[in-house]
Structure 1
Amino acid sequence: MYVKHYKLTGRPFQLTPDPRFYFESATHRKAMSYLGYGLAQGEGFIVITGDIGAGKTTLVAHLMATIDPKRLAAVKIAASEMDGDTALRLAAHAFGIETDGVDKAQVLSRLEAFMHQQARAGRRSLLIIDEAQTLGFDALEAMRMLSNFQLGGQSLVQIFLLGQPEFREAVAGSPELEQLRQRVIASHHLEPMLPHEVQPYVEHRLKLVGWTGNPRFDPDALERLADVSRGVPRVLNTLAQNAMQLAADQDKDAIDLAIVEAACEARETVLAASPPSAEAPAVKVSAEEHRQSIRAAVHSLRAAAGEARAAEMPSEDGDDRLAAIEARLARLEGRMDEHDEMLERILAKMIALVEDDEDGADIAPCAA
């Protein structure tokens, strides 16, 4: 595993959002300023949108880590397709309010009582809703009803809505959401990182796990990572993590362009394992098909690593060269066995990324 090989204290490019790894790119800095403005206002809705993998969840995790619990009772929920009653119950549950056996009106009453109690204790209530694009009109109307709660002319709750770009478009263009739209006090769309931000981003995450320069990322490798990922953090993390694994397998102290290209090709192998169908809805693959896709991608990674190493060999006679390549591949496969478990975890996450990509992520192909 590359973490052990490079003597790191953890995985710098894990896909699971972690506020420790928050990187303040220009667009994230602006988003945080809007969120801070919203908290200072103490009322209304703040809308933050971004494409899949843009860092919305990490942004929220960072915000949650900076909130003073003595001043704010803050909770976060992940939305899904649900009606207003379910949305209210989910919010109540997040605040620790029991809702079993009561109707919608009673749920609203309990939420209001809770928020009054928090206000008397000197705390405002903050509800953060992720994946807001999945909320229908009924659920959004229920959230608007929550925003009506007041005490002494002061709002009792603020609501931050985070979603994909289509949510912002829906709020802006739907006549049914006019009342909610009037209560949006700020909105921001998270853009991809700029090309010059990729190197600081990569080094920021590496330093948080004890990196001291080994392995180094060559300038052309970083440029290629920026180009292929288009500045989308999740895609960049996937490619950088796979590149580090390939470099560790080859015992290299530098990640060059060839390694990044191999990592890119391995990712496309996984993407190709589940091609979208234009004629039929996507269906859940069986466990055996899933395992076969992972095995195929593992073999691709092995082949890519072997080819990269073979490319460094001096020119030899055909038979000697073939024998040398086979010997190197045999040694490489022996070393790869101990990495299979880790690779399968990576690739399982990459397959989950495929599902996200099929939802509309616009990622550059590896081809030059």
Structure 2
Amino acid sequence: MYENYYGLNARPFLLSPDPKFFFASNHHQRALSYLQYGLDQGEGFIVITGPIGTGKTTIARNLLSNLGDESIVAAQLVTTKLDPHELLELIAAEFQLDVVSKSKAEILQVIEKFLISLHKQGKRALLLVDEAQNLPAETVEELRMLSNFQLNNKPLIQSFLLGQEELKGIIQAPNMEQFRQRIIASAHLKPLSCEEVQSYIRHRLAQAGYQNEELFSENAYQLIFEKTLGVPRKINIFVDRLLLFGFLEELSVIDSKAINEVAEEMDIELTGSINARQQSGATEATQLVVNSSENVESMREVLREVEDILENSIKQKIKLSRYVDKLLKQKNIELATKNSEVSDS
């Protein structure tokens, strides 16, 4: 797509977590330091929380990719609402243990035997539980029970929990006192500041091989910060679309005009306003029944909202059509050049 146009060797703003593009803001570096400290301690729980899209999974991937310690056997879980038995089955599967058709007690025995075998080899297990806010309290408690597996007073497995802010509520419940006592460090991620947004974008572009002059205008970073609220995932979505827009429009510098135009197209993606509109529409639909005197105006408002959504969709389709046309033209030029070279030879 836009990589060749901007001299990039990769797309720098993909949503998939990639340790290569890890950016260490103050909060992210602190969280990573806590994880590394926990590894050095070899015991207890580390808890990392933060809003959606602030980079918790990226931190976990960065940690795993830079372990550099063959004595640690790591597994990462991306959970849903698992009961304790299902959690143990998933842990066993990640460590490639055969527990098919086994009871909970039997699964625990298989896991303990595996952990003891690692210990005899001078190794230990590390479990990273992503999206941990989805775990019921009794399943979090099961993780605590796993930490009781010890040999010669040394824990055989260590767990890191990464989750959204709801995880705090689970851990702070009165019946989770024993779990809280085993937490040796915790950190809460926050969105990036305006200055960090600028450094984040420049860092990712540099990692993708960008070496040209400044790609964004002077006030662009402040505007991107305002549109994305400093959330890394939203920044990735927005800047990726900005680069595509710049390629289609053949822009060498992306300025406030381009940013505002793309932001308008992506309003639904960036602000979640589609959900607000749907909820508003649902509320209005209810009001049509409850208060018939407002029927006409409510219906007009719903239709205006639908019209806005359709207009945005049409704009995006036009952009895609222009993009395809550009690719076809480029392909035709390449074919014509090749045919010319063949005829000359």
* TM-score of Structure 1 vs Structure 2, range by shorter chain: 0.7 to 0.9
Checking the alignment, whether the CA contact within 8 Å between 1:131 and 1:164 is kept in structure 2 is yes
- Other-structure match for 2:168: 168
Q: Which runs of 5+ in 1 are unaligned?
A: 281-292, 306-331, 341-368
- Other-structure match for 1:277: 279
Once the two structures are superposed, the pairs formed by residues 260-275 of structure 1 within 5 Å of their partners are: 260-270=259-269, 271-273=272-274, 275=277
* In structure 1, C-alpha distance between the alignment counterparts of 2:264 and 2:25, rounded to whole Å: 27
TM-score by length of 2: 0.81
Q: Deviations over 1:313-348 (max 9, x none)?
A: xxxxxxxxxxxxxxxxxxx954454579xxxxxxxx
- Other-structure match for 1:158: 158
- Other-structure match for 2:5: 5
Once the two structures are superposed, the pairs formed by residues 15-30 of structure 1 within 5 Å of their partners are: 15-30=15-30
- Other-structure match for 2:337: none
* In structure 2, C-alpha distance between the alignment counterparts of 1:223 and 1:272, rounded to whole Å: 22
Q: Which runs of 5+ in 2 are unaligned?
A: 284-307, 329-345
SS in 2 for 1:188: strand
* In structure 1, C-alpha distance between the alignment counterparts of 2:135 and 2:20, rounded to whole Å: 29
SS in 2 for 1:217: coil
**1:300 and 2:315 matched:** yes
C-alpha RMSD over aligned residues: 2.4
* In structure 1, C-alpha distance between the alignment counterparts of 2:167 and 2:190, rounded to whole Å: 15
Distance 1:96 1:296, change over 3 A: farther
* In structure 1, C-alpha distance between the alignment counterparts of 2:92 and 2:321, rounded to whole Å: 53
What is the letter of the counterpart of residue 229 of structure 2?
R
Checking the alignment, whether the CA contact within 8 Å between 2:31 and 2:48 is kept in structure 1 is yes
* In structure 1, C-alpha distance between the alignment counterparts of 2:268 and 2:5, rounded to whole Å: 25
Report sequence identity in percent. Answer: 36
- Other-structure match for 1:315: none
* In structure 2, C-alpha distance between the alignment counterparts of 1:148 and 1:262, rounded to whole Å: 56
* In structure 1, C-alpha distance between the alignment counterparts of 2:62 and 2:327, rounded to whole Å: 32
- Other-structure match for 2:183: 184
Checking the alignment, whether the CA contact within 8 Å between 1:6 and 1:214 is kept in structure 2 is no
Deviation at 1:5, TM superposition (A): 2.0
* In structure 2, C-alpha distance between the alignment counterparts of 1:92 and 1:302, rounded to whole Å: 46
* In structure 2, C-alpha distance between the alignment counterparts of 1:26 and 1:39, rounded to whole Å: 20
Distance 1:276 1:156, change over 3 A: farther
* In structure 2, C-alpha distance between the alignment counterparts of 1:48 and 1:269, rounded to whole Å: 29
SS in 2 for 1:2: coil
What is the letter of the counterpart of residue 184 of structure 2?
I
What is the letter of the counterpart of residue 78 of structure 2?
A
What is the letter of the counterpart of residue 299 of structure 1?
I
Deviation at 1:301, TM superposition (A): 3.9
Q: Deviations over 1:52-109 (max 9, x none)?
A: 0000111100000011351201110111111000001101111111110210011111
Aligned residues: 300
TM-score by length of 1: 0.76
Distance 1:333 1:85, change over 3 A: closer
* In structure 2, C-alpha distance between the alignment counterparts of 1:263 and 1:215, rounded to whole Å: 19
Q: Deviations over 1:206-227 (max 9, x none)?
A: 1111111256111211111112
* In structure 2, C-alpha distance between the alignment counterparts of 1:93 and 1:333, rounded to whole Å: 45
Checking the alignment, whether the CA contact within 8 Å between 1:214 and 1:253 is kept in structure 2 is no
Q: Deviations over 1:203-247 (max 9, x none)?
A: 111111111125611121111111221211001111111111111
Larger radius of gyration: 2
SS in 1 for 2:68: coil
- Other-structure match for 2:70: 70
- Other-structure match for 1:234: 233
- Other-structure match for 1:37: 37
Checking the alignment, whether the CA contact within 8 Å between 1:224 and 1:260 is kept in structure 2 is yes
Distance 1:295 1:99, change over 3 A: farther
What is the letter of the counterpart of residue 20 of structure 2?
R
* In structure 1, C-alpha distance between the alignment counterparts of 2:327 and 2:268, rounded to whole Å: 18
What is the letter of the counterpart of residue 125 of structure 1?
A
